Chain A
Amino acid sequence: MVKNRKVMLMALVLGLVALLAPTLCLGATKLVVWESSGPEEQWVRKMGELYYKETGIEIEVHPVDQLSQSDKLALDGPAGKGADIVVWPHDKLGQTIEQGLLWELPEDKLDLSNFTASAIDAMRYQGRLYGIPYALEALALVYNPDLLPEVPETFDELIAIAKKFNNPRKNQWGFMFDMLDFYFAYGFFGGYGAYVFKDTGSGLDPDDIGLANEGAIQAVKYLKNLRDTGLIPEGTTKDIINGLFIEGNLMAHINGPWAYAEFEEAGAKYAVAPLPKLNNGNYPQTFIGVKGYYVSAFSNQKEEALKFILWLTNKENSFKHYQDTTIIPSREDVINMPEFQKNKTIQAFAIQATRSIPMPNIPEMREVWDPMAHAITFVLRNNGIPEEILPLSVEQIKEGIMMMKR
């Protein structure tokens, strides 16, 4: 009997170990990553295999669209089914941190000196770091080299050249961009000294809105001037602009890196340059979008996940990332590499990115887009002068924020 019982006990212990061992091992060596299906997902999968060979840590990539990851994580995370590493554009950062989805990274233990400073800023919320950036998206001047052999130094010169070429009757257009989209229009606001939310050093201050100051008034007047010169008539939407550019009827326009795939496919001639200087000597300060890898707050292998992210965004792999999926890397040491500087298109976006600020990542930004688009609309349609309309818009933004937080 006694012997029997011992054997039983042994068997039980062995069974337990056999049951637990794989789960323990798996738990420690498998990281789940969500990434949009397509080139990015394939890239992470490919790198995951490399990482597995190097470290023995398995990387499992699930195709989840970047823009729907936060909703999915909010539901799957608490249930224990979420990913360890998630990806989305930085303008959703504040919102997702308010939802409690992300883990704050131990910044004092990290060396971030080689990353583009504005990209790291984009990963901060209320002064704390939540992600490691891997790609940038900036706006730049996209032009037709046949029509515009050389990009002038200043915007005023560009406008002058554009005016000479502009001839609506012949369907020839000089310079265009979607002025009613505040994302595109902000370049002028920032260049003339306006700001959306004051950067206090420990995060953006949603109570300090600089969209009705001198610079903002000047910027809107500049936009009004573009309308009055006949360059950008009513109804100039992004689709129209892309269409005209592909047809070869548009000399230059403002666009982002997402557009050139379309131009390449259509066989359109294009070249990219940073935006020229404004008449106050400053460059337009556009918004950049930053994509980063974040660690889920629900992950039970946060440290391992962070290690993988840091490996994925190191200099060597960041360059590979650029080679494979033509992203604009968020590392200065990559942008300065001689191999990188051969690609003029990407380089133009990268230079513009250094002259940009991250799009505000606090959720209050959601209240800014519509009132500002409306303010620009009112000025362009002669419903009032900027000095009167902009303060009213700022009031609307403040009211919106007040309602949002109530």
Chain B
Amino acid sequence: MQRNLIENTGSNIGRYTSALLSTLYMGAGQIANGQWLKGIFLILFETFVLIPSVPLLLKNLKGLITLGETPMVDHSLFMMIYGILAAVAAIFLIVCYLVNIRDAYEHGLAIDKGGKRKGWKETLSDMIDAGFPYLILAPGILCIILFTFLPMAFNIMIAFTDYDLFHSPPRHILNWVGFRNFVEFLTTASWANTFKQVMLWTVVWAVLSTLTTYLLGMIIALILNNPRIKFRKVIRTILILPYAIPAFISILMWKGMLNTNFGIVNHLLTTTFNMQPIPWLENVFWTRFAVIMVNLWLGFPYSMMMITGILQGLPNDLYEAATVDGASGFQKFRYITFPLVMFSVAPLVIMSFAYNFNNFNVIFLLNDGLPAVFGLQGKAGGSDILISWVYKLTFQSLKFNYAAAMSLIIFLLIVGFSIYNYTRTRSFKEEEMLR
């Protein structure tokens, strides 16, 4: 029943013929190769899936380019999202088509070389074997496309449009403006100075907030890891509590407690220690001090628990050997504990640096990025970090395009930093640990 059309030609061009046929219409080459079932399936796929979807895809891809033509009817944001989805679908269909051509070519090649053509049973089992990982991955990949790739692509695209209040859909159609947002944002003269100051504090904040939490976490973990400490579990449980309370509630509590004239902290300082009230939320230095302390309070339990876990997994024989060699307690820490802990923790430290770089919650909720600093332009306050400043600058003014452009810049900064550091950590290189 299954004839092989090319087998009988006896020439060496079967692979090209079938590849060409498959290029003309999906499955044609497969039929020429004698793979009837596969060929028919592919023909049906092209006829009923690919061809009918072409106009829809083209319409949405065109929408991605024009972003709509009639205001109040076309909604540019929707068109953008549909356009992105259409692009993904188009890439998928093109890949299908290319795979179909390659399949025809390879099969033709096998036949040209005198091999036996594969029957449908064989093909099916091949497909299941080779395709199984993809089948299992498919839901995950779909989720990544929908929930990670789509919003990111959307965000990146907004950075290249003129999407702000005065060009808002549905009344207006958005336009592509290229790099205009980046240029405008970075060249506004009065903001340049502010940008430098905010950037500097952001780096200081990210470094200090990360280091302090890990240092305190490590110290407490080391203390609590000493078997001579009583009630270790109780203490550990109490210390984990700040981490268990939702951060934004405790930040608001701290805001109230740090109030200059009515807060409990200053009340204690003035009544018990007879000190002057400290302007926690009014002075730049003290606000910065306060955000770092509050972040420390919020963040150390996590690193403490993590380092405790690592400490408990350290091999005891190392310490025994060190004791035999006459190492002091500090030497044990310096040459055994610390390197081993850092080996496990370093990638996490980098990640929390990236997290703290964008730690909007603590900054925004504790003091709204304030206090106001005389001379700082563009709404920035003394404790504003890049992301909270961008929020004020763009979302309050409804400049979504600037917001997207700035978050893209911040994203690139963090990605660059993280990649650089990840590739330099030893745990990434998977070298031997203690050299």
Given contacts A74-B168, A234-B282, A240-B259, contact A404 B399 (CB under 8 A): yes
Interface with B: A5-13, A61-69, A319-327, A377-385, which one?
A377-385
Question: Is A297 a contact of B72 with CB atoms below 8 Å?
Answer: yes
The verdict on A100 contacting chain B, using a C-beta distance below 8 Å, is: yes
Interface size on B, residues (CB 8 A): 39
Question: Is A74 a contact of B169 with CB atoms below 8 Å?
Answer: yes
The verdict on B135 contacting chain A, using a C-beta distance below 8 Å, is: no
With the chains together, A396 CA to B372 CA distance in Å?
13
Question: Is A236 a contact of B261 with CB atoms below 8 Å?
Answer: yes
Given contacts A377-B371, A381-B282, A383-B374, contact A237 B259 (CB under 8 A): yes
Question: Is B168 a contact of A98 with CB atoms below 8 Å?
Answer: yes
Per-position binary interface string of chain A over residues 65-77, scored 1 when its CB falls under 8 Å from any chain B CB and 0 otherwise: 0000000001101
Closest A residue to B376 by beta carbon equals A374
Question: What's the minimum C-beta distance from A130 to chain B, rounded to whole angstroms?
Answer: 14
CB neighbours (8 Å) of A373 from chain B are: 372
Closest B residue to A171 by beta carbon equals B262
Question: Is B164 a contact of A370 with CB atoms below 8 Å?
Answer: no
Question: Is B170 a contact of A77 with CB atoms below 8 Å?
Answer: yes
Given contacts A235-B260, A396-B377, A399-B377, contact A363 B190 (CB under 8 A): no
Question: Is B397 a contact of A234 with CB atoms below 8 Å?
Answer: no
With the chains together, A95 CA to B167 CA distance in Å?
11
Question: What's the minimum C-beta distance from A392 to chain B, rounded to whole angstroms?
Answer: 9
The verdict on A403 contacting chain B, using a C-beta distance below 8 Å, is: yes
With the chains together, A400 CA to B190 CA distance in Å?
11
The verdict on B125 contacting chain A, using a C-beta distance below 8 Å, is: no
Question: What's the minimum C-beta distance from A329 to chain B, rounded to whole angstroms?
Answer: 32
The verdict on B113 contacting chain A, using a C-beta distance below 8 Å, is: no
The verdict on A371 contacting chain B, using a C-beta distance below 8 Å, is: yes
Question: Is B261 a contact of A78 with CB atoms below 8 Å?
Answer: no
Within 8 A of A (CB), among B380-420: 392, 396-399
Within 8 A of B (CB), among A290-317: 297-298
CB neighbours (8 Å) of B71 from chain A are: 100
From A77, A100, A235, A405, contact of B168 by CB (8 A): A100
CB neighbours (8 Å) of A366 from chain B are: 396-398
Closest B residue to A367 by beta carbon equals B397
CB neighbours (8 Å) of B77 from chain A are: 75
Question: Is A235 a contact of B169 with CB atoms below 8 Å?
Answer: no
The verdict on B424 contacting chain A, using a C-beta distance below 8 Å, is: no
CB neighbours (8 Å) of A265 from chain B are: none
Consensus secondary structure, chain A interface: helix
CB neighbours (8 Å) of B374 from chain A are: 378, 383-384, 389
With the chains together, A240 CA to B77 CA distance in Å?
43
CB neighbours (8 Å) of A369 from chain B are: 396
Question: What's the minimum C-beta distance from A19 to chain B, rounded to whole angstroms?
Answer: 26
From B72, B166, B260, B378, contact of A234 by CB (8 A): B260
Question: What's the minimum C-beta distance from A393 to chain B, rounded to whole angstroms?
Answer: 10
Given contacts A235-B259, A371-B379, A404-B165, contact A99 B171 (CB under 8 A): yes
CB neighbours (8 Å) of A381 from chain B are: 282
CB neighbours (8 Å) of B263 from chain A are: 235
Question: Is B170 a contact of A403 with CB atoms below 8 Å?
Answer: no
CB neighbours (8 Å) of A168 from chain B are: 261
With the chains together, A369 CA to B259 CA distance in Å?
22
The verdict on A56 contacting chain B, using a C-beta distance below 8 Å, is: no
Interface size on A, residues (CB 8 A): 41
The verdict on B316 contacting chain A, using a C-beta distance below 8 Å, is: no
The verdict on A3 contacting chain B, using a C-beta distance below 8 Å, is: no
Closest A residue to B188 by beta carbon equals A403
With the chains together, A200 CA to B164 CA distance in Å?
26
With the chains together, A79 CA to B74 CA distance in Å?
9
Question: Is B397 a contact of A404 with CB atoms below 8 Å?
Answer: yes
Within 8 A of A (CB), among B315-357: none
From A75, A98, A384, A403, contact of B397 by CB (8 A): A403
The verdict on A406 contacting chain B, using a C-beta distance below 8 Å, is: yes
The verdict on B218 contacting chain A, using a C-beta distance below 8 Å, is: no
CB neighbours (8 Å) of A75 from chain B are: 75, 77-78
Closest A residue to B371 by beta carbon equals A377
With the chains together, A380 CA to B184 CA distance in Å?
34
Question: Is B398 a contact of A95 with CB atoms below 8 Å?
Answer: yes
CB neighbours (8 Å) of B168 from chain A are: 74, 98-100
Residue of A101, A363, A403 with highest tally of chain B CB at under 10 A:
A403
With the chains together, A78 CA to B399 CA distance in Å?
22
The verdict on B99 contacting chain A, using a C-beta distance below 8 Å, is: no
Question: Is B190 a contact of A399 with CB atoms below 8 Å?
Answer: yes
Question: Is B259 a contact of A78 with CB atoms below 8 Å?
Answer: no
The verdict on B279 contacting chain A, using a C-beta distance below 8 Å, is: yes
The verdict on B256 contacting chain A, using a C-beta distance below 8 Å, is: yes
The verdict on B67 contacting chain A, using a C-beta distance below 8 Å, is: no
7 additional A-B pairs beyond A75-B78, A101-B171, beta carbons within 8 Å, are A78-B78, A79-B75, A99-B165, A100-B172, A235-B261, A367-B396, A389-B374
The 8 A-B pairs at the shortest CB distance, nearest first, are namely A100-B171, A374-B372, A235-B260, A235-B259, A99-B168, A233-B261, A235-B261, A404-B397
A-B contact pairs, 18 of them (CB 8 A): A78-B74, A78-B75, A99-B168, A100-B172, A101-B170, A168-B261, A234-B260, A235-B260, A240-B262, A363-B165, A363-B166, A363-B398, A366-B397, A367-B397, A377-B372, A396-B378, A399-B190, A400-B379
